[in-house]
Structure 1
Amino acid sequence: MTAHEVARLLAAADAAMAAGQRDTAFAHLEAALKLDPANPRILNSLGLRALHGGDAVRAVALLERAAAADPEASPLWYNLSTAHRATGDSEAELLALDACLTRDPYMLRALLAKGQLLERRGDAAGAAAAYTGLLKASPPDAELPAPLAQAVDHARDFVAAQAQGLAQALDPTLDAARAALPATADTRRFDRAVDVLLGRQRVYHPEPTGLHFPFLPAIEFFDRSNFDWLERFEAATPVIQAELAALLAAPGPDGNIDGFAPYVANAPGTPLNQWEELNNSVRWSAFFLSRDGVPQADNRARCPQTAALLDSLPLLDAPGRGPAAFFSLLRPRTHIPPHTGVTNIRTIVHLPLIVPPACGFRVGGTSRPWNIGEAFAFDDTIEHEAWNDGDELRALLIIDVWNPCLTLAERDLCRALFAAIDARSGSTGSFEG
């Protein structure tokens, strides 16, 4: 009979609340509480009413009973923390927030409240840790209610200020430590580690869209010592530039340069995502000398010295996949958006041939310019982007080679893998977009 009466009173309270009769609703809840004094729903509702009515002491008493009755319900602990905050008991508030976050580590309100509490208490490190958790758990600002978005902005600014303060404290000591090292010491990895620690850089990982070869180091730009042929490649820059100039002087029937085609050419119906602007556009175009391991005879005949040079280099020899070798043109005011390549078993090499001002290239957390005749190699499965903000054409010769960290045995196994895949599918795969 008691359970039935409690259910009736709760239903009556819901109906009264829906009708805007709040006093009547809470009267029903008070009556229900006398019959069921450990009901967490009733205790929570009456506790919040007391809190909003200014009776924080009664709110704490009721909400403590609610949390004790249903200790795994994280909202009850959060509500209790707000009641403790109203009484000024910061220690009890922190305990309630920790209990809430133990049960729901991603509750944004609790993460925010904990950061605010620790900030009020002068615990900058603790507040920064709580705010960092909030920032990691938060959806994009556009999806947040305005008050919460403002609070998240404050959290972001607070974390950044703490990181800046730590950097100002650490940098002189670290600069002295670097200065004490031999001049040949390479501190790039340590420097990046510090930048990530201080929030000045994010962590970039290889994100291949196809084959991911595990346990290879995530190297944005490879050291030149891995490629003993780079100087010979660079020395041929004038010859390659001359053959490219001849190509550029030959207009094509479609308004593009003869033999060049859009690099991004997705089939109809393909989701374009970041490629919508460049799909089938000559703003980024290519003239292939080798594609998916297949020499492009007509194009090679137009660049015989470049083709001969490529034949002498240790390019990616994976039938059906590589090598790729092509001239890449980027028109003025064109941006290649951030993206990742197909597989980390290969390394991409750029040889800059025409580089106007206001051009640049980023791989992961490292941006660098192109300098004519200075080649570099990078892992294209790490997010990268390129831009030509100038008024003239930018041109590169791009080739792919094996990732220098792969063993010869691993290369043989990759070739066997691709051959088996192609035999199964009845067609040849590709590393190109």
Structure 2
Amino acid sequence: MQQSADMRQDAQDAAAALHAGRHREAAEKFAAALARDPRQIACAIGLAYACKALGDRAAQERALDHALALDGRNLHALIMKGDLFEADGDSAVAGKWYSVALRVAETVGQLPAQLAQELARIRERKSRLEEEYEARIRQTLDEAGFPSIQPDSRFARSLDILLGRREIFVQEPKRYYFPGLPQIEFYDRLDFDWVPTLEAKTAIIRGELEALRAEGDSFTPYLEANQSGPVTHHRDMVGNDDWGAYYLWKDGRPVEDHVARFPETAKALQDLPIPRIEGTSPNILFSRLKPGASIPPHNGLINTRLICHLPLIVPDGCGFRVGSQTRPWVEGELFIFDDSIEHEAWNRSGKERVVLLFEIWRPELSETERAQVSTLLSSIGVRTSDG
């Protein structure tokens, strides 16, 4: 009991000394209080402030490490730790500490005025550090003979990740994961020799679609309730025709009367590397997004396929994100992307957006692997239209 009272008295005396500018006395009192009760994070922070005023960097860092061991989210300690490294001239490490402090601050409610000012200071400083860091990188690349980097190249994207401007997204299929496949968000459509021929038939395919649309609304909700299992999708999208579908093939079976209405579309797709897996694939459909509708971020079921979009009707205000890349649809230009990576779509226009959606084998899979995957997916009953 007496030891606790002595600790409190030391802490009060230390705080008074610190406020009065008697930094040596404050440091000694805070250290004494911590010796009596090492759990007192306020004393560790006070000790760090006193040591900073005394110019004792080593003691200040020890006090901060003590505080952070007690609470790794303490904003005072995180900010001061960053300041330590900036004073040492290590701006890269300082920026990391500032980043953590700013992220923690986003999760905290109202902050004291002084702490809010400190956060504003390090936010501005972090911005300058990032600019200086990028300038040094650009200068190094320029001097090495790389004055310009092709936008959206793999190296350009790696720079964005390094500089904190782009998140890292990876394959996270909900049902079946095949390891060892490259993490590519959008594939280059020109790497597939069949693409130009298909794109050249855009007007014909759109014509068949327009004939259907002229007869009224034949689309059904893309996501339908699965009566045999739990709902694993965004619940507000299940049964919602904001995201509609008109299937030609679904879960490996043709919708005969629909296919009959789209003979040219069927012909255009017949020689493509589309998976044919009993009960699973192909899935070929017209995907509609109503005006003002959006598809929330989600991941597909498997990563052994790629999804293709042939944009047919695309008003202004539509967009599509896969992982860290966002692109607009362009009518007649195919998208090929990995839907096992998080993706989302939106239509902020006043008109419908419609694409022809189908799946193809990932080109990295061998014929043997495709046969193995086909047998497996068919046997376990994966319905990829659910994704």
TM range (shorter): 0.7 to 0.9
Q: Structure 1 residue 229: deviation in Å?
A: 1.5
1:241 aligns with 2:206: yes
* Higher relative contact order, structure no. (Cα contacts within 8 Å, ≥ 6 residues apart): 2
Q: Which residues in structure 2 correspond to 1:345-364 (within 5 Å)?
A: 345-364=304-323
Match of 1:371 in 2: 330
Q: Structure 1 residue 288: deviation in Å?
A: 0.7
Amino acid at match of 2:135: Q
Q: Structure 1 residue 221: deviation in Å?
A: 1.0
Q: Structure 1 residue 368: deviation in Å?
A: 1.9
On the 8 A contact 2:305/2:338 being kept in 1, the answer is yes
Aligned mates of 1:338, 1:58 — CA distance in 2: 56
Match of 2:373 in 1: 414
1:188 aligns with 2:156: no
Aligned mates of 2:225, 2:119 — CA distance in 1: 39
On the 8 A contact 1:292/1:432 being kept in 2, the answer is no
Match of 2:15 in 1: 52
Query: What secondary structure is seen at the aligned counterpart in 1 of 2:146?
Result: helix
Match of 1:127 in 2: 94
The alpha-carbon distance between structure 1 residues 198 and 398, as it changes in their structure 2 partners (threshold 3 A), is same
Aligned mates of 2:6, 2:48 — CA distance in 1: 15
Q: Which residues in structure 2 correspond to 1:266-415 (within 5 Å)?
A: 266=225, 270=231, 273=234, 276=236, 278-415=237-374
Q: Structure 1 residue 188: deviation in Å?
A: 1.0
Aligned mates of 1:345, 1:330 — CA distance in 2: 26
2:141 to 174, 191, 210: 174
On the 8 A contact 1:72/1:103 being kept in 2, the answer is yes
Q: Structure 1 residue 353: deviation in Å?
A: 0.8
How large is the RMSD of aligned CA atoms in angstroms?
3.3
How many residues get paired?
378
On the 8 A contact 2:202/2:332 being kept in 1, the answer is yes
Aligned mates of 2:351, 2:76 — CA distance in 1: 52
Structure 2: give runs of 5+ residues left out of the alignment.
Answer: none
Moved more, 260-269 or 63-72: 63-72
1:210 to 154, 175, 195: 175
1:96 aligns with 2:63: yes
On the 8 A contact 1:220/1:379 being kept in 2, the answer is yes
Q: Structure 1 residue 375: deviation in Å?
A: 0.9
Q: Structure 1 residue 312: deviation in Å?
A: 2.5
Aligned mates of 2:97, 2:151 — CA distance in 1: 35
Aligned mates of 1:408, 1:158 — CA distance in 2: 55
The alpha-carbon distance between structure 1 residues 160 and 343, as it changes in their structure 2 partners (threshold 3 A), is farther
The alpha-carbon distance between structure 1 residues 349 and 196, as it changes in their structure 2 partners (threshold 3 A), is same
Percent identity (aligned)? 37
Structure 1: give runs of 5+ residues left out of the alignment.
Answer: 1-9, 11-31, 34-40, 252-256, 423-427
TM-score w.r.t. the length of structure 1 is 0.76
Aligned mates of 2:182, 2:50 — CA distance in 1: 51
Query: What secondary structure is seen at the aligned counterpart in 1 of 2:17?
Result: coil
On the 8 A contact 1:47/1:58 being kept in 2, the answer is no
Match of 1:200 in 2: 165
Q: Structure 1 residue 66: deviation in Å?
A: 5.0
The alpha-carbon distance between structure 1 residues 168 and 292, as it changes in their structure 2 partners (threshold 3 A), is same
TM-score w.r.t. the length of structure 2 is 0.84
Aligned mates of 2:161, 2:198 — CA distance in 1: 35
On the 8 A contact 1:63/1:80 being kept in 2, the answer is yes
Q: Structure 1 residue 338: deviation in Å?
A: 2.4
On the 8 A contact 1:43/1:65 being kept in 2, the answer is no
Aligned mates of 1:272, 1:417 — CA distance in 2: 23
Query: What secondary structure is seen at the aligned counterpart in 1 of 2:386?
Result: coil
Q: Structure 1 residue 287: deviation in Å?
A: 0.4
Deviations 1:103-137 (A, max 9, x none): 7655444212322455577764443121123345x
Deviations 1:238-297 (A, max 9, x none): 22111101111111xxxxx12x11113346984765x52x44332221101111212111
Match of 2:185 in 1: 220
